[in-house]
Structure 1
Amino acid sequence: MTNQDLKTRVRAAVERELQEAETPGAAIALLRSGKTILKAGVGYADLQQQCPLPSDARFYIYSITKPLLATVAMNLVQAGRLDLDTSLAPQFAQIPYAVESPVTLRQLLSHTGGIPGYGDGTAYVQDLQAHPQQAWTTEKFLQVAQDQGQLFLPGTGWAYSNIGYMLLRLILTQETGLSVSEYLAEWIFRPLGLQHTFVPETLEQAQGLTPGYSQFFTGDELQNVVPLYHPGWVSHGVVVSTAAELGKIIDALFSGTLLAPERLRQMLEPIQVFDFEHPQIGKIGYGLGLCLGLESPYGTVAGHNGAGPGYVTGAFYLSNARGQPTTVVALANRDRHDLDLGTRIVFAILRVLADAPDLADAPD
C-alpha cells in the first residue's frame, strides 16, 4: 500500500466517524517509529462546510495536558527535586484536610489522593455558562476543593480530579519558579522545536484556535466557543496544539526523548484498574497521568483523551501496531465527549492500519 492509498483509506474512515458524530472536522496525525507518516485535516473548519480544515489547525487539547504536566513532574523526580512518595503537606496550606491527611505526588498524578473535582458541577456549570469570558481564579478553585472536603483517605480510592492537577500545576510552579506556560515550554515545547504549541493565559491569546462548536452555551444551536471561552476555566491550565505537534510530544515521551526509561516505566504502572471495558481500548487502567490499555493486541497502549467546550481529543501511543511503535492523534472541532470521539477516531485509524497489506511507511 502506498502512502497515498493509506491516506485515502484513513480519510474515509475518519469521515465516517465525523458523519456519525455530526462533527464538521478533525485534524489527525500518524507517526510510525518516530516518523510522521500522515498528517491531515479531514472535513471542515466551519459548520457551513465551506472551509476545509487545515492539517495545522490549532485546538485546545484539554485533558491531554495532564500527561504533559506529569512529564515535567517526573523530570523533577528524576532530578531529585521532588519525590513520588513524600508528603506534599507543606504545599497544601490552603486546603487544611490535605495537610491533615497528606497526599503524595504519586497520588496526585494517579487521581488517588481523594482530592475532589468541581463537586457536583452545578456552581461551576452555572458560572461558566453565565460568564464564559471570566474564569474562576485559582483561589476560587481552592475554596471549592476545601468546601467539598476530602473524598477518601489518600491511597484508598480513585476519583478523577482536575483540581488535583491544578494542585500539581501549583507545586511545579513552586518548585521551578516558572508558570505552567514557561515550564512546559522549557521541558517539552522548545526541546522538540514546536512552533504552534503553547499555554494561553488570556482569552486574547486563544483567538488563533480553529473554530470549535458546542451547544453548551446556547442549549440547542451549535456555536463557535473561541470568542467566549476563557482558558482559565481549565483549572490545571490547557495546552493549545496541532495534531502533528501533539503527535511529536507523545512520540517523544515514549521514545525516551523527554524522560528516562525508569521514570517512564513508573508512569506506565497501572495504579488503578477498572472493572469495565472501554469500547475502543478494552480493559483499562490509570498510571501516572496516563490512561492505559491493559490487554491490547497493540502491545503497550498509553495516552489520554480530552474534552471541553468546542473540542474533543485523543492521543495514544502503541508499542506494536503492525510491528512498529505507533502514535495516533485526533483533534475534533465539536465537543462530542458523549461519544469519546477523539479516541474513536484514533482507533478507526488503527483499524485501517491493521487491515493494510504491504503498508508503506514513507513520510507524509
Structure 2
Amino acid sequence: MSPRPYGHARRIRPSLRLAAATAVCGALLGASVLPAQAADRNPPPDRGAALRQELRALVERPDGPPGVVAVLRDGDRTKVYRAGVADVQSGRPPSASDHMRIASVAKAFSGAVALSLVDRGRLRLDDTIGEVLPGQPDQWHEVTLRQLLNHTSGLPDYSASQGFIDIISEDPRHHFESRRLLDFVADEDLAFRPGSRYAYSNSDNIAVALMAEAATGRRYETLLRELVYRPLGLTATSLPQGYRLPEPYLHGYQIDLQEGPVDVSEAISASGAWAAGGIVSTPKDLTAFIRGYAGGTLISERTRREQFRFIPGALSQPPGPGRTAAGLALYRYTTRCGTVYGHTGNTPGYTQLAAATADGKRSLTFSITTQTSLTDNPDLLAHVREVQEDFVCALLRG
C-alpha cells in the first residue's frame, strides 16, 4: 500500500531522519458498610493509580510513545494523567497546555463549521458539490454535503494520489495551496455511487471547507474562529500553513527500535492537510472543543438529530475504543461501560482521541506522541485502544 501522510499510516523516510533527529538525545466500590478489619483486608482499588500504571506501561514498550497525556473531565472537575516526557531532550513531563497536532480530529472542526452554517441557512445537508462548487469535476457534482460529512461520498483520496505522495516524499515541508488539494484527483471518477457505502477519505473534509467558504464568502480559518474557537473559548487552537509548532509543544516521534525515537514534530507542513488534519491545539482546548461539539452546544437539536444518524461498523482512522459507528463528522464509540462520541486521528508523531458523553458533561482526550494505526504498528494500536477503553470506563463510572 502506498504511504499516506494525513489521516492514514505513514512513516517518515529514513533519509529524513537525520534532519528530524537533530533535536533528539538519546469502580468505585458499592455503598455497603464493611467491618473495619474487613475493610483493611480489602482496601478500595485506587483507580487513578491503575490508570497511571496503564500509561506507564504504554511508554515503557520498546515501540511505545515517549509521552502520553490524558484529560478526564466530569462537570467542573478535571484530572490530568500523564506518563513519559514531552521532549526526550529536555525530559520535561507532558502538560495539558502543550501544543500538538490533532490530526484527523480536525475533521470534527470542519463538521462544526458546516453544521453551524446549516443551522444558519447558509448550507443544506442535501446541497451538492455541483450546486455550491460548480468548478469541481462534473463526475463529483451529485455528491452532497451530508455524504462528505459521513464519508459516503466516494471522492478519491487526494492524500493517496501518487502525485501528492511524490511531492511530500521529496519535500515533506512543501507548501501546498490548500484550496487546490483536490486537484491531485480531479481527473479521477468517484470510487462508488454516492451514498452507497462508507469509505474514509481526506478529500471529503477539504470539500466541506471549500463549500463553507463558497457559501459565506469567508475564509475557512475565519469561520473556524467565528463559529468554533470563539463560542467555545478556544485560545490555543489554530490552523497553520507551515511546519512550525508554537511553544511549548508535545514533541512527536517516529520510533526506531535500533536508533531510538526520531523527532518528527515539525517534519511536515500542515498545508497538505488543512481542513482534513492540519489543526494544532492543546489537550486543554481539545477538551473544551469535544465537550461543546459532542454535547450539541454549537448546533440546534434539529441539526444534531441529523448528525446522530450513525452508520454501524464505520471506522474512524484509527479506530477508537470499543465498537465504532459514523455520524456526520462524529463517531460513536460503544464500549463495555457505555457510549461516548468523538473523533480520532493520526499523523506522523501523534495519535489522538477526543470523546465526550452526549450531554457534553464528561469528556476524555487521549494523546500519544507517536503515530499508530491499523497498518502502522497495529499491536501498539490494540494496546492503546484497550487503555482508552479503560479511561472511558473511569469517565463513565467515576
- How far does residue 230 in structure 1 lie from its aligned partner after superposition? 0.9
- How far does residue 123 in structure 1 lie from its aligned partner after superposition? 3.9
Relative distance call for 1:259 and 1:279 in structure 2 (3 A) is: closer
Question: Which amino acid is the alignment partner of residue 11 of structure 1?
Answer: R
How far apart are the structure 2 equivalents of 1:40 and 1:281? 18
Q: Which residue is equivalent to 1:232?
A: 271
* Partner SS state of residue 259, structure 1: coil
The question of 1:28 aligning with 2:28 is answered no
- How far does residue 343 in structure 1 lie from its aligned partner after superposition? 4.6
Relative distance call for 1:52 and 1:139 in structure 2 (3 A) is: closer
Question: Which amino acid is the alignment partner of residue 286 of structure 2?
Answer: L
Q: Which residue is equivalent to 1:362?
A: none
Q: Which residue is equivalent to 2:128?
A: 87
Q: Which runs of 5 or more residues in structure 1 are unaligned?
A: 360-364
- How far does residue 76 in structure 1 lie from its aligned partner after superposition? 0.9
TM-score, normalised on structure 1? 0.83
- Kindly indicate whether the alpha-carbon contact (under 8 Å) linking 1:13 and 1:352 is maintained by their aligned counterparts in 2: no
Relative distance call for 1:345 and 1:49 in structure 2 (3 A) is: farther
- How far does residue 199 in structure 1 lie from its aligned partner after superposition? 1.3
Relative distance call for 1:344 and 1:136 in structure 2 (3 A) is: farther
Identity of aligned residues (%): 26
- Output one character per residue of 1:228-286: Cα deviation in whole Å (capped at 9) or x when no partner: 321112142521111121111111123332222222222121145449xx986443221
Q: Which residue is equivalent to 2:363?
A: 327
Q: Which has the larger radius of gyration?
A: 2
- Output one character per residue of 1:126-170: Cα deviation in whole Å (capped at 9) or x when no partner: 322320111332465222221332111211122111111101111
How far apart are the structure 1 equivalents of 2:250 and 2:280? 10
- Kindly indicate whether the alpha-carbon contact (under 8 Å) linking 2:128 and 2:144 is maintained by their aligned counterparts in 1: yes
- How far does residue 298 in structure 1 lie from its aligned partner after superposition? 4.2
- How far does residue 345 in structure 1 lie from its aligned partner after superposition? 4.1
Most deviating of 305-314 and 279-288: 279-288
Taking the TM superposition and a 5 Å limit, the aligned residue runs for 1:1-364 are 7-20=48-61, 21-32=63-74, 34-47=75-88, 50-99=91-140, 101-118=141-158, 120-138=160-178, 141-204=181-244, 206=246, 208-214=248-254, 222-236=261-275, 238-271=278-311, 273-274=313-314, 281-293=321-333, 296-319=335-358, 325-337=361-373, 338=376, 339-340=380-381, 343-352=385-394, 359=398
How far apart are the structure 2 equivalents of 1:44 and 1:152? 44
Question: Which amino acid is the alignment partner of residue 68 of structure 2?
Answer: A
Most deviating of 243-252 and 199-208: 199-208
- Kindly indicate whether the alpha-carbon contact (under 8 Å) linking 1:214 and 1:334 is maintained by their aligned counterparts in 2: yes
Question: Which amino acid is the alignment partner of residue 327 of structure 1?
Answer: S
How far apart are the structure 2 equivalents of 1:30 and 1:304? 16
Relative distance call for 1:204 and 1:44 in structure 2 (3 A) is: closer
How far apart are the structure 2 equivalents of 1:75 and 1:353? 28
How far apart are the structure 2 equivalents of 1:268 and 1:19? 38
TM-score, normalised on structure 2? 0.77
Q: Which runs of 5 or more residues in structure 2 are unaligned?
A: 1-27, 29-45
Question: Which amino acid is the alignment partner of residue 133 of structure 2?
Answer: F
How far apart are the structure 1 equivalents of 2:331 and 2:172? 29
Cα RMSD for the two superposed structures:
3.1
* Partner SS state of residue 126, structure 2: coil
- How far does residue 206 in structure 1 lie from its aligned partner after superposition? 5.0
Number of residue pairs matched by the alignment: 345
Relative distance call for 1:128 and 1:222 in structure 2 (3 A) is: farther
